[in-house]
Amino acid sequence: MRRRTLVRTAVAACALSLMATVAPAATADPAGATVTPRAAAGASHDDDDDEDRRSYKRVGYFTQWGVYGRNYQVKDMDKTGQAAKLTHINYAFGNVSPEGKCYMPSTLGEGDPWADYVRPLDAANSVDGVADDWNQPLAGNFNQLVELKAKYPGLKALISLGGWSWSTHFSNAALTPESRKALVSSCIDLYIKGNLPVDGTRGGVGAAAGVFDGIDVDWEWPGSSGEDDTPYRPEDKKNFTALVKEFRTQLDAYAKSEAVRTGKKAKHYDLTAFVPTAPAKIDAGFEVRKIMRDLDWVNLQGYDFHVSGEATTNQQSALKAKNDFSVDQTVNDWLKRGAPARKLVVGLPFYGQGWTGVTGGGDGLNQPAARPAPATWQAGYEDYKALKKLVDSGTYKVHRDKKNGHAWIFDGNTLWTYDDPQVLRAKTEYIRDEDLGGAMIWSLDGDTSDGELMTSIDRGLKRR
């Protein structure tokens, strides 16, 4: 995501860019088409909590820039109880340079080494309760991830590459075998081997080794439009397949070389991707059967089905919907194209989309609106924790479509569509019933201080 001229402006830009990941087309393909049965490949039904936790992925995005305005630190994943319930943390985001390499510049809006590994944390904000000093080569968020993983040994961290605004150079970088090899090699060097740029006493060869356990490719979007400055071409579809293959090949080769060097069993590095809900975008950019051979799983876009920039209020993350985007439609479309059910991880929002100046009466849904609703960081985009306060204040009424699995709140003028614990219970039941791979969250900093939404997901995926 492009970000950070000022903290508030930067966070707002990130929220806006996420909302635009797929602004729905004027007409959507019908949801709920007939598909092949969900195969329970690799599904575990052991009642033991540890075995159950391994059965379903619980992937949470941690935003690099959230440590500023939102003041959401790595330690907060521990304090809220989220870390104990997660299997994977996706660190958002890593950038790709105009030369087609993973890089970490100090250029405003293009990289933030200060947040990543330079910034010293005091004892109060450190996972282990010990303040950083200026002599250690690794500090910032990366060091806190190391401390968090030490406290929760089963927890893994992946670097997520790209995002809405930092997908700009993917198409060019994936264009040839040589450019793909160079891109993948640079990403492994920077994030897996941990060879960070030197910044004072920070960084250096191997400084971040062990921070990341894999790579998440968040190219938005191969073969179709993304942000205005992001080029795309028809060849992206086959080039994305080849890029995924190159990541898998080089990650496996590095794991084997490390095993030879250390005499230990070769580590498996996870390789995942964030993928769209719109059928046209799936078909333009993804050879589904081929990429699924090399990806451990894909994180499905399960939100932004409708966004606050539209002139009419609507659902942004419904479980099911007739003739519209929905979670079920997204799952069906990926299954129809050959994706294994257990490699589909459903995206869940910890935020809402909102409109104000809503007219037409009733419960406010599917009515004309004047503009995006005022919000903390970006008009039309608000964290769940803030929406919960609106509900608790009594000024908003909660409305539910229980059949289709979504909720919204309305005060007669302003409407917010969002997921609350009741909606998440329905979605986790769906994940279990359909033998899917688990749940992904964008983003962890939207939850309450006691991790209300993460607890709902965890309980839902364990419930029999």
**Cα(385)–Cα(383) distance, rounded to whole angstroms?**
5
Q: What is the dihedral of CA 256, 257, 261, 264, to 10 degrees?
A: -10
Q: Does 221 sit behind a cis peptide bond, omega within 30 degrees of 0 on the bond before it?
A: yes
DSSP string, 151-211: HSTT-EEEEEEETTTTTTTHHHHTSSHHHHHHHHHHHIIIIIS--EEEETTEEETTTTTTS
**Tell me, what's the pLDDT at 47?**
39
At residue 55, the pLDDT reads 87
Is 178 in the active site?
no
Do residues 62 and 92 touch, judged by C-beta distance below 8 A?
Answer: yes
Residue 363: CB atoms within 10 Å: 16
Q: What is the pLDDT of residue 122?
A: 98
User: CB atoms < 10 A from the CB of 391, how many?
Assistant: 16
How far is 274 from 42, CA to CA, in rounded Å?
Answer: 21
Which of 444, 335, 418 lies closest to 35, judged by CA?
335
Q: Which amino acid is at 60?
A: G
Beta bridge partners of 407: 400, 418
- Calpha distance 105→257 (Å, rounded): 29
Q: Give dist(CA 322, CA 403) in Å, integer.
A: 11
Pick the CATH number of 7-351+421-462 from 3.40.47.10, 1.10.1740.10, 1.10.10.10, 3.20.20.80: 3.20.20.80
Task: Determine if the pTM surpasses 0.85.
Answer: yes
**Calpha distance 309→339 (Å, rounded):** 32
DSSP per residue over 388-453, as a string? HHHHHTTSSEEEEETTTTEEEEE-SS-EEEE--HHHHHHHHHHHHHTT--EEEEE-GGGS-TT-HH
Q: Are 357 and 374 in contact (CB under 8 A)?
A: no
Structure tokens at 114: 């200060």
Amino acid 331: pLDDT: 98
- In our burial notation (b when 16+ CB lie closer than 10 A, e otherwise), range 140-149 reads bbbbbbbbbb
pLDDT at 31: 30
Given this model, what pLDDT does residue 463 score? 62
Quote the distance between the C-alpha of residue 25 and its chain's center.
22
Domain boundaries, given as residue ranges, for the chain: 7-351+421-462
Give me the tens of pLDDT residue by residue for the chain, a chain 464 residues long.
333 322 333 333 333 333 333 333 332 332 323 223 333 333 333 334 444 445 899 999 999 999 999 999 999 999 999 999 999 999 999 999 999 999 999 999 999 999 999 999 999 999 999 999 999 999 999 999 999 999 999 999 999 999 999 999 999 999 999 999 999 999 999 999 999 999 999 999 999 999 999 999 999 999 999 999 999 999 999 999 999 999 999 999 999 999 999 999 999 999 999 999 999 999 999 999 999 999 999 999 999 999 999 999 999 999 999 999 999 999 999 999 999 999 999 999 999 999 999 999 999 999 999 999 999 999 999 999 999 999 999 999 999 999 999 999 999 999 999 999 999 999 999 999 999 999 999 999 999 999 999 999 999 999 65
Q: Which residues, 6 or more positions from 379, have their beta carbon under 8 angstroms from its beta carbon?
A: 308, 371, 372, 373
Q: What is the dihedral of CA 290, 278, 300, 187, to 10 degrees?
A: 60
Helix (H, G, I), strand (E, B) or coil at 42: coil
Q: CA-CA distance, 146 to 152, in Å (whole number)?
A: 10
**Annotated catalytic residue within 110, 220, 434, 452:** 220
**Angle, helix 452-462 to helix 421-433, in steps of 10 degrees:** 30
Q: List the beta bridge partners of residue 91.
A: 62, 159
